[in-house]
Amino acid sequence: MGIVVQKYGGSSVATAEHIMAVAERVKRGHEGGLGLVVVVSAMGKTTDRLLALAGEVSREPSPREIDQLLSTGERQSVALLAMALHDQGIPATSLTGPQAGMKITGRYGSGIISEIHPERMRGLLAERQVVIVAGFQGMNALGDVMTLGRGGSDTTAVALAAALHADRCEIYTDVEGIYTADPRIVPKARRIPEVSSAEMAEMAWRGAKVMHPRAVELGALYGVEIHVRSSFGEGPGTIIRKDKDMERLETRETIAGIVHDLDVSRVTLTGIKTGPGTMSRIFTPLAEAGVSVDVIVESAPKEGSSDVAFTVSRGEFAEARRIAGEVAEPLGGEVEGEEELGKVSVVGTGMLNRPGYAAKMFDSLGQAEIPIRMVSTSEIQVTCIIPATRVEEAVRRLHEDFELEERDV
């Protein structure tokens, strides 16, 4: 019996009608002979609603209690889906993350999976039951519920697929697959039938919201083939797997897509004294405070001082600026900040070995008179930090200039 893990996001189970539609799809897979493990997110905006409630009753709610609260959203979804399947004559059992054997370590609100004990799930699959698992959660060493943070349900699904040696992991969402750009911004954006794990991880890190990069990287590490499909249609979607295309080798198309992110702010330490250990003095306190840093740029030192700029999400801007100020003062520098920024990235395999992509991107933005604040490059992406108000224009311009609507992706 082949095992398939399916994951349904919040929009896919937002209403009773949507849950019943998911049950119909699961029923077809079960009757087709598949062993199904179904990972479900909280319904619609449940997580946001619960966070708002927490804010109404407490000025500074405990991270532990926040996890206790948020975990109830997924528990509602799995129970309701199990009920819907029972009504259709399909045997199903709902499990919380801890009941499914998910062991979590790290901090409340941003845990990471340490191990999975799949024995109970295997037993239920052997009984030909559909196993429905609450995403986004597991149990820590104290026996407490702990959540996995953003993208946690995607990560849960891929991790379970790896632990169960599943044939594939299917991620059902509200879009038809992965596109060459956000189709809401670029109507001519094309669905990508297949994308490499490396490209998809980079696209996710750079702003593509369809999947979380943690889940993509986990899939690549354990060889899990991931299918991204719409829960509202029967289209083929996009397959994410290691690039095994040996037919075209270096003649294959390099650019996978244009991605963007509007949740960007910049902190700059100006005129700081530089020397051995300076970067550590800046970024160690940020890491200890749990602030995630993305793009980092240091200007060339002049007379023993330089400027260091880095980007963080807007939600972490105030904390990052405060910490940077504490660091800059003893180093003789000052701190500046800019919140209303975004980033746009050109992503594709092998870009470093093919000169001209960065130049073309800079020329395209220059022709549109879009100012570039910072630049980050690697062998698989070129990213520009630009004013947030110009991001959508930049995405459309780059998609057109790189001719992605005309290419065989």
The rounded percent of the chain whose pLDDT value lies above 70 is 94
Enter the tokens of residue 143.
């026996």
Domain boundary among the residues 204, 222, 244 is at: 244
pTM of the complete model: 0.84
Of 244, 270, 293, which residue constitutes the final position of a domain?
Answer: 244
- In the chain, the number of structural domains is 2
Quick one: pLDDT at residue 250?
Answer: 47
Domain coverage including residue 282 = 257-401
Q: Classify residue 309 by burial, with Cβ atoms within 10 Å: 0-12, 13-18, 19+.
A: buried
Residue 246 has pLDDT above 50, yes or no: no
For residue 129, the SS3 value is coil
Tens digit of pLDDT for each residue in 252-290? 457 789 999 999 999 999 999 887 888 899 999 999 998
pLDDT tens-digit series, residues 179-238: 999 988 999 999 999 998 888 988 988 888 888 888 999 998 999 999 999 888 888 899
- Tokens describing residue 177: 């697959």
Q: How far is it, in rounded angstroms, from Cα 350 to Cα 371?
A: 26
Using DSSP's 3-state secondary structure scheme, residue 397 falls into helix
Both 187 and 321 in a single domain?
A: no
Please check whether residue 250 lies inside any domain of the structure. no
Domain end position, chosen among 211, 244, 277: 244
pLDDT of residue 251: 43
Rounded Cα distance, 344 and 346, in Å: 7
Handedness of CA 68, 71, 76, 82 (dihedral sign): negative
Do 64 and 7 share a structural domain?
Answer: yes
Looking at the fold, whether 143 and 228 belong to one and the same domain comes out as yes
Give domain status of residue 409, yes or no: no
Nearest to 147 by CA among 135, 159, 157, 158: 135
Asked if 41 and 170 sit in the same domain, the reply is yes
Q: Give residue 350's pLDDT.
A: 67
The CATH number assigned to the domain holding 275 equals 3.30.2130.10
Confidence bin at 244 (pLDDT 50/70/90) = low
Same domain, 13 and 124: yes
Q: What is the DSSP letter of 300?
A: P
On whether both 238 and 298 belong to a single domain, the answer is: no
Same domain as 298, residue 207: no
